[in-house]
Amino acid sequence: NAGVMQNPRHLVRRRGQEARLRCSPMKGHSHVYWYRQLPEEGLKFMVYLQKENIIDESGMPKERFSAEFPKEGPSILRIQQVVRGDSAAYFCASSGDLNTGSGGYTFGSGTRLTVV
Amino acid sequence: GDSVTQMEGPVTLSEEAFLTINCTYTATGYPSLFWYVQYPGEGLQLLLKATKADDKGSNKGFEATYRKETTSFHLEKGSVQVSDSAVYFCALRSSIAGNQFYFGTGTSLTVIP
């Protein structure tokens, strides 16, 4: 039973390029969450999605960042025109119905984005 | 809004020492409380949880008790091992804001032989 799969594990982009981060949730999970972890800081919530819907994007920067979770395929976090300040670890988590399951998230191993 | 405050790190202990990592929270309603652990280069793993006041979560020798009166969920272990070296995150899941979790900033623990 594969867990949450994120790829790539490491991504290097030059300033101004686009970064695409992928997340396949755990089998049977329909809720996906993206978090960003900056160096020496905790996890900051970015966005919560269910299939084809953005439920809460209150943590997403207003510009350059977008997320989707299509009917088929993985969830994608896209960062356009990356800047050095986007360098961070981006974690995806998934869950089933939190009201009936274990109540917690399952996290992927993260994508470490470095902007040079 | 809801938030979690946890003990600043880093923490360095000798093997077999007693561990406490403090965590306090601010929340409306009745949140669920969690401890996650992050080993180097990996994602976060659920360590233990408690869903209501006075519940004690436990796993791998770690324990934490949900204290509503002090709004705390301190993590403890009686005898740490080198393999416990990791970053520990306290988190709450709001009972009001749906599925969103709020994480503390993490406490880095290093256990030396």
Evaluate if residue B52 carries a pLDDT over 60: yes
Look at A109 and B42 and tell me if their CB atoms are within 8 Å. Answer: yes
| Mutation site, B52, B89, B101, B105, interface A, largest A CB count within 10 A | B101
Tokens describing residue A99:
């009201």
- On chain B, the residues whose CB falls within 8 A of the CB of A107 are 36, 43-45
Position A10 scores a pLDDT of 96
Position A28 scores a pLDDT of 85
CA–centroid distance for A9 within its chain? 12
Lowest pLDDT segment from A25-29, B9-13, B65-69? A25-29
Round the average pLDDT of chain B to a whole number and report it.
Answer: 91
Distance from CA of A37 to the nearest CA of B (A): 9
- On chain B, the residues whose CB falls within 8 A of the CB of A91 are 43-44
Look at A45 and B102 and tell me if their CB atoms are within 8 Å. Answer: yes
Look at A43 and B44 and tell me if their CB atoms are within 8 Å. Answer: yes
Q: Say how far apart CA A53 and CA A45 lie, in whole Å.
A: 17
Q: Say how far apart CA A90 and CA A77 lie, in whole Å.
A: 9
Position A100 scores a pLDDT of 53
> Which of A115, A96, A78 shows the shortest CA–CA distance to A32?
A96
- On chain B, the residues whose CB falls within 8 A of the CB of A10 are none
Lowest pLDDT segment from B7-21, B61-75, B88-102? B88-102
pLDDT > 90 in chain B, percent: 69
Q: What is the dihedral of CA B78, B79, B80, B81, to 10 degrees?
A: -150
Size of interface A-B (CB pairs under 8 A): 57
Q: B75 by DSSP, 3-state: which?
A: strand
Eight-state DSSP code of residue A15: T
Q: Report the pLDDT averaged over residues A89-107.
A: 77
Distance from CA of A110 to the nearest CA of B (A): 6
pLDDT > 70 in chain B, percent: 96
Q: Report the pLDDT averaged over residues B63-90.
A: 96
Position A38 scores a pLDDT of 84
Evaluate if residue A99 carries a pLDDT over 80: no
Per-residue pLDDT tens for B86-110?
999 999 987 776 667 888 989 999 9
Position B44 scores a pLDDT of 87
Position A102 scores a pLDDT of 56
| Mutation site, A105, A106, A111, interface B, largest B CB count within 10 A | A105
Distance from CA of B27 to the nearest CA of A (A): 17
